[in-house]
Structure formats: structure tokens, C-alpha cells
Amino acid sequence: MKKENGAMRKLRVQQWVTVDNFAAEEDGGLGFVSGEPFSDTTEKAFEESLMGLIDSVDTMILGANTYAQTKDYWPYAEEQGEYGEKLNNLTKFVASSKLDDAPWGGFPAATVTRDPVATIRELKGQSGKDIWLWGSLELMHSLMDAGLVDEVRMLVCPETRGKGRRVFEDRQNLKLVEATRFENGIALLCYEIEK
């Protein structure tokens, strides 16, 4: 099945990164992230960019670590307004070999998948909006190796780390489809993965 416009659903990744291409510090932390949505002072253009992504998807997949780090915040994050409401109402999948269930507060629980490659292949063949891979570097790398990632959106923070875990660990052919600078110092670089 295809999306309404006849195209197949895309798997879109969004990663917060440093200028030197690290998406996580050595301990897995994200201390460099400087533009988390949303507050009264959030720049409108930045907010609109993030809302544009969430409006383009109806399904989110995340790894077990990202799930563990976010499940106790996002379902209760009323301060995140419309963005949080939309995120919490997405259909969710958690890639895990250990979890049996993945509750999400008062919202529908995520479905646990033991085989995320097969799950993404199946989802891409169904009708609907695009699929969003949220963080989850290890999962991103395995889905890239399987040729399933279509787009990588990097929110580049104005910091460097020198060490950590990189977004790209091997060679990729990329096509720049968007580059936007925001007043908060973050730059959005959006690339299609050329296959």
C-alpha cells in the first residue's frame, strides 16, 4: 500500500548532534542539546520546523534505551503543549529483545518488536504518513545497514565534544534537502540517503 500521494512511506530519523557529528556523549548523555521544545521563549521558526516533522508522521519507533529514558517524562509533559500531545498519540514501536510490554502513561502502549527490520519493512508497505525513528543510534545504524532509512534530520547544536557516538559510522551517500539556521544557534541539516 502507498501513501495518499502514491509514494511509499519513508523512515525519517531525527538526531540532535554536535558540530563534530556526535549524537551522544561517551556516557550516552545529551548534555549538548540546547533547543528542546517548547516554552514561551521558543523561536517560532524552530517550533514550526519541529511541528512540521511531527505532522508528517503517524508512527514512531524507538530503541529500548531511548524508551527507558523517555517513558517517564513524555506521557506527562503537559508543558510541551500541542507537540507533546501529538507525540504521545503517535503509534509507537519499541525495538527490544528483553521487554514484554512498553506502557506509555495514559496513552496507548507501544508495541514491542523483536525484529525492527521486519517491522519497518511491513510498516513501509502499509498506508499512512511517514515513520519517525526517534534517537536510538544503535537501532538507526541497524536500519541503515538494512537500507531502510530514507532521511536523516540533524539538529546541529553549537557545541563540540571530540569524543562520543557518531551519527554516521561508515560511508553514506547523502543528498542535502534542507538547511535552516535558527536564532537559538541550532542548524537543521536534512539529508536523503541515496540508495
Q: Does residue 35 register a pLDDT over 60?
A: no
pTM (2 d.p.): 0.90
What confidence tier does 128 reach under pLDDT thresholds 50, 70, 90?
A: very high
Average pLDDT value for residue range 84-88:
93
Give the pLDDT band (50/70/90) at residue 184. confident
Average pLDDT value for residue range 20-25? 87
Q: What are phi and psi of 176, to 5 degrees?
A: -70, 125
So what's the pLDDT on residue 38?
66
